[in-house]
Structure 1
Amino acid sequence: MAESIISIRNLVKTYTLGGETVTALHRVSLEIEHGEFLAIIGPSGSGKSTLMNMIGCLDKAESGEYMLEQQNVGKMNDNQLAAIRNQKIGFIFQNFNLLSKLTALENVELPLIYQGVGTNERRKRAQECLQKVGLEERAAHLPTQLSGGQQQRVAIARALVCNPAILLADEPTGALDSKTSSEIMNVMKGLNELGHTIVLITHDLDVAKQAKRIVQIRDGKLFEYGGDSIEAASLY
């Protein structure tokens, strides 16, 4: 069996809303191996955003254990968590989050600037990542000169540029039409075939089915489905 890149054991997270305690994650356990393409699916309020925040080191659980590449995330301070987010996790968002005054290439370079990487090395790596997503010819274009699908490809390239341990994609096709969504999912599958570990958060069953493995989160609890056993009726 391959070594887990992520090992989550019995994570619990609660929130207080209007004087009531809501359990967002209820003893969630999950193993993700190197090179996996995992989809986490669930409706609004199911706990999937909370779980994404845990995996992305944006929030901490009250109890349980989260190991990322054999490092115990739960015991890290804020500076250590920031370093993990910058070096080990490539974030891909629904709304791209590109800086409008920077070119595609400059947007991709940005995480490397925070790491103090020199100009020549930075540019070389950014160009390589744009090439991986099939957008090298648009390197000098501003976001406003790119289609939604092209902007998301730039965002994916930016997520790749630090060579992270995992790509964490939060509804990456949510702002795109069905044709463009399909193109973006093909890019993601191509990256997975190159060996990248991808965790995809979505509410869309058709998108989730393109991953190699699906887990569902419902009322803060995790369920796993094998092969073709997952159907729309079983999700909601």
Structure 2
Amino acid sequence: MKIVELRQLNQCYRDREIFKELKLDIYQGEFISLMGRSGSGKSTLLNILGLLERPTAGTYFFKEGAINYQNQLALAQRRRDEIGFVFQNYGLIAEKNVQANIELPLVCQKIAKQARQERVMAITEKLGINDLLKKMPRHLSGGEAQRVSIARALIKEPAIILADEPTGALDEEREAEIMAVFKAVNQTGVTVVIATHNKEIAKSCHRNYVIEKHQIIEK
């Protein structure tokens, strides 16, 4: 089943054209890499896929239904329930400990405290970070912080995870660990889309795309 379908998608910022009549299909359970020069539009495309940006023109089908950008409530609900985000800078809330950061999406979904705690324990055990629950983000290593970020994305059981340069700030050893986590996540049926400049990461993916000349090209 197609989880993402973009048709004739354009994106412009004032007089700068980012995408021109872009077309993209992503299927449930795929592991996709997005590559391209700095400024080519990798982050912009992830923002569009994650419903954080509205394209200038074109149609976005998510799970075979056209996105209605006029319905802000529906957009927010879809972001909350079906899309997980992982960022290079982790995006953790400095004032909250690891457990509170991970369970935040469930708080937004108004899930009961006991159920939240059970899901936090399950996901942190799976990712090997259950001993970090009481730590504050400032006390985490880069690899630990990224695992926490991934746990937060997974806790709501999303259909798709969008990761923007998730290993960009890590050394090779931590990079390999995080990619192993993404592979394991993908093997459970979750679609994963990673924006990266690293060709070795791209080799781990099912399909590789490069953004160039306002288009996305499969390599």
Take 2:48 and 2:68, find their aligned partners in 1: how far apart are those partners?
10
Matched, 1:126 2:113: no
Identify the residue that residue 3 of structure 2 maps to in structure 1. 5
Identify the residue that residue 204 of structure 2 maps to in structure 1. 210
1:24 is matched by which residue type in structure 2? I
Please show how residues 48-197 of structure 1 align to structure 2 within 5 Å.
Answer: 48-197=42-191
Identify the residue that residue 30 of structure 1 maps to in structure 2. 24
SS in structure 1 at match of 2:39: coil
CA contact (8 A) 1:104 1:154 kept: yes
CA contact (8 A) 1:47 1:219 kept: no
**Could you tell me how far 1:104 is from its partner in structure 2?**
1.5
**TM-score normalised according to structure 2 size:** 0.95
SS in structure 2 at match of 1:140: coil
**Could you tell me how far 1:83 is from its partner in structure 2?**
1.4
Take 1:76 and 1:212, find their aligned partners in 2: how far apart are those partners?
34
Instruction: Structure 2 unaligned segments of length 5 or more: list them.
Output: none
Take 1:32 and 1:8, find their aligned partners in 2: how far apart are those partners?
9
Take 1:131 and 1:197, find their aligned partners in 2: how far apart are those partners?
21
Take 1:208 and 1:103, find their aligned partners in 2: how far apart are those partners?
33
Q: CA RMSD in A?
A: 1.3
Give a deviation string over 1:102-153, Cα, whole Å, max 9, x none.
2211110011111111100111111112122221222222222321101100
**Could you tell me how far 1:84 is from its partner in structure 2?**
1.3
What is the percent sequence identity of the aligned residues? 39
Instruction: Structure 1 unaligned segments of length 5 or more: list them.
Output: 226-236
**Could you tell me how far 1:76 is from its partner in structure 2?**
4.2
CA contact (8 A) 1:216 1:224 kept: yes
1:197 is matched by which residue type in structure 2? T
Take 1:93 and 1:5, find their aligned partners in 2: how far apart are those partners?
21
**TM-score normalised according to structure 1 size:** 0.89
SS in structure 1 at match of 2:169: coil
**Could you tell me how far 1:35 is from its partner in structure 2?**
0.5
Take 1:14 and 1:211, find their aligned partners in 2: how far apart are those partners?
29
Take 1:150 and 1:191, find their aligned partners in 2: how far apart are those partners?
17
CA contact (8 A) 1:132 1:157 kept: no
1:10 is matched by which residue type in structure 2? Q
Identify the residue that residue 234 of structure 1 maps to in structure 2. none
